[in-house]
Structure 1
Amino acid sequence: MFAAYVAVTVVTILATAGIAVADVARAGFVLANSAEVGVPQAWLPMLAVLKGAGAAGLLLGLLGIRLVGVAAAVGLVLFFAGALFAHVRARVFHNIAFPGGYFALAAASLVLVLGR
């Protein structure tokens, strides 16, 4: 079970940190997606900070600060639930698998850290 926790959490950290960097870099797909779901571009830096904090918190959890890891996983689950809600609200379903995938990774990380 510990190996699954480490593997899933590392993938979640890498994916979340990667999309945070894409937000900071204002990647074309990020700008297009945010416009499509009605998220102002001015929010991108703060959203990147939240994603980065979640990834850092998961890393701290892996390094032994379990409570921080749990809090980060909960935060990421809520964050990506909000992203899914934004897609549904805007009726943008063609790329909903992306926030859904991040949500699933965060939820799996949460379940696995709670199971430790």
Structure 2
Amino acid sequence: MELAYVTVTCAAVLANAGIAAADLVKAPFVLANSAEVGVAPAWLPSLALLKAAGAAGLLLGLFGVRPLGIAAGVGLVLFYLGAMAAHVRARVFHNIAFPGSFLALAAGALAMAAIR
């Protein structure tokens, strides 16, 4: 179980750190996706900060600050539920697998941290 927890949490940390960096540099795919779902480019730095904070919290949870890891997992799950809702609201389904994948990683890390 410990190996699964570490693996899923590390995957969630890397995925969120990567997408936070893409948000910060306003990568073309980020700008295109944001425009499709109605997120203004001015929001990207704030969204990147939330994702980076979630990744950092998960990492700290991995290194022993369990309540922070759980709180970060909850925050990321809520964040990606909001992203899924934005996709559904805008009827943008062709790339909904991306926020769905991030949601699955965050939920997996949260679930494993909670039962650990």
Aligned to 2:8: 8
Which AA in structure 1 matches 2:40? P
Report Cα offsets for 1:23-70 as digits up to 9, x if no partner.
Answer: 001000000000000001100000000000000000000010000000
Equivalent-residue separation in structure 2 for 1:101 and 1:7 (angstroms): 15
Which AA in structure 1 matches 2:22? A
State the 4+ residue runs in structure 1 displaced beyond 6 angstroms. none
Percent identity, aligned pairs only?
A: 67
Aligned to 1:66: 66
Structure 1, unaligned runs of 5 or more? none
Output the TM-score relative to the length of structure 2: 0.99
Equivalent-residue separation in structure 2 for 1:56 and 1:102 (angstroms): 15
Equivalent-residue separation in structure 2 for 1:17 and 1:41 (angstroms): 19
What does residue range 2-41 of structure 1 map to in structure 2 within 5 Å? 2-41=2-41
Aligned CA RMSD, in angstroms, stands at: 0.3
Structure 2, unaligned runs of 5 or more? none
Residue 11 of structure 1, CA deviation: 0.3
- SS of residue in 2 equivalent to 1:64: coil
Residue 3 of structure 1, CA deviation: 0.7
